[in-house]
Copies of this chain bind each other. A is one copy, B any other.
């Protein structure tokens, strides 16, 4: 555990340094737009994707230092998706700070009724610029030109085609009914694609050649990333109802307030008897939640067997993620990846 945390924090420091020293945003004008490009990565986050990539590099026998820029580029890629996602979800805060479009709305002195649109317009552009920046960083890795091209090509395949399709499905699902299979497919795109890429591209990079993308270990790492994403997401859903605000950091019940399709909710709606289902439905889309309302919701999830179902699913996904790692040679970094899966599945925050 300590080893995991100290390695993660060491990697985060190095990745942050690469990002801070990158000159790509310096040419951007106006200055507030360049500042917006840097604001999300500077505003915390776990640096999970870069760390997974770099542990995979080491697990494949490569030198992490050579791929710090690729890992930093992956983090910037992840962050542009957050900037555009926050516009789409109309979210005003992230990690306790105002979102990009909210900050940018105040970049010029404008009439009140023009601000929000201006902020969103500039945040669209900030997210666009970060896409260029992400690939600029990937390109600065120390490796062959062929490997750089493959790192970028697979980032496009997973980061655009799969991730953005997942994001679009998420938007669509908020307007219509869905089921468990579709929910898992959406999460596999929106979260799984980039974790798949992180783990698998790291292996390829560590082997030093594009052909290693299809190594058995690389494919296993791709699966590891996808199972990890599901387990991570399900734990998020669990903590959103059964967690503690002081630890989790997000308001408990906000998923209910949004009527967000989660595995927990879909399972309960399908398995509760009619009266109880109606009771649960009456707890959706409320403007605020008292402790009593949350307690009622928790009891309904337990009564439906949904709590146990989700906890079992988290166990299963975590187990599958860890099993995938058996295809890798024994290294210290493989064990860190294994510990990471356990840590994310049973975290309280």
Contacts and interface: CB of A to CB of B under 8 A. Distances in A.
Contact of A33 (B124, B144, B157, B168): B168
Contacts of A145: 144-146, 148-149
A125 B175 contact: no
A161 B129 contact: yes
A301 to B, nearest CB: 29
A96 interface: no
A321 B132 CA distance: 29
Interface residues of A, number: 48
A153 interface: yes
A124 B110 CA distance: 24
Interface string A19-45: 000001001111001000000000000
A108 interface: yes
Contacts of A88: 121, 124-125
A24 B159 CA distance: 13
A156 interface: yes
Interface in A135-187: 135-136, 139, 144-146, 148-149, 152-153, 156-157, 159-162, 164-165, 167-169, 171-172, 175-176
Contacts of A162: 27
A161 B121 contact: no
Interface in A100-136: 108, 110, 114, 118, 121-122, 124-125, 127-129, 131-133, 135-136
Contacts of A110: 175
A57 B114 CA distance: 45
A47 interface: no
A134 to B, nearest CB: 10
Contacts of A160: 128-129, 131-133
A91 to B, nearest CB: 13
Contact of A135 (B121, B156, B169): B156
Question: 4 shortest A-B CB distances, which residue pairs?
Answer: A132-B160, A145-B145, A132-B156, A27-B161
Given A30-B168, A127-B128, 19 more contacts: A24-B161, A27-B157, A27-B161, A27-B165, A28-B164, A29-B165, A29-B169, A30-B169, A84-B128, A88-B124, A118-B171, A128-B128, A128-B131, A131-B160, A135-B135, A135-B152, A145-B148, A145-B149, A148-B149
Interface of A: 24, 27-30, 33, 84, 87-88, 108, 110, 114, 118, 121-122, 124-125, 127-129, 131-133, 135-136, 139, 144-146, 148-149, 152-153, 156-157, 159-162, 164-165, 167-169, 171-172, 175-176
